[in-house]
Amino acid sequence: MNEHEFSEMVNLIRKAETAIGEVDYKLTEKQLKGKEFSRSLYIINDLKEGDIITENDIKSIRPGFGLHPKHYSQIIGRTVNKCFTKGDRISFSDLQ
């Protein structure tokens, strides 16, 4: 590879980097407005303090104001540190 070919390769790499742009994981305004239509984890059975959460106790339903469904497997088998009634949202602070 001669000097001209190397220079051309560097220029093409810089163009590719510019085309890729910056990675941004922030939600857009439209996504923030649509968040209420996403899903969250909710309690579907009454639970007492100290109960262990089973697959029959939580469900992913709308609206999306609670814990994201991607945490479903992290919730199963955990102990609750307060009483819940059917329809309550769950969060990590509610678990031991």
Largest Cα–Cα distance in the chain?
75
- Region 32-39: mean pLDDT is 81
Q: Specify if 30 maps to a domain.
A: no
Q: Specify if 28 maps to a domain.
A: no
Q: Specify if 45 maps to a domain.
A: yes
What does the pLDDT look like over 44-60, one tens digit per residue? 999 999 999 999 999 99
Domain that holds residue 71: 37-96
- Region 24-42: mean pLDDT is 84
Beta strand extents in the chain (DSSP E only): 40-43, 58-61
User: What's residue 66's pLDDT?
Assistant: 82
User: What's residue 26's pLDDT?
Assistant: 87
Q: Specify if 80 maps to a domain.
A: yes
Q: What is the CATH number of the domain that holds 62?
A: 3.90.1210.10
Q: Specify if 20 maps to a domain.
A: no
The answer to whether residue 27 scores a pLDDT higher than 90 is: no
Q: How many domains does the chain have?
A: 1
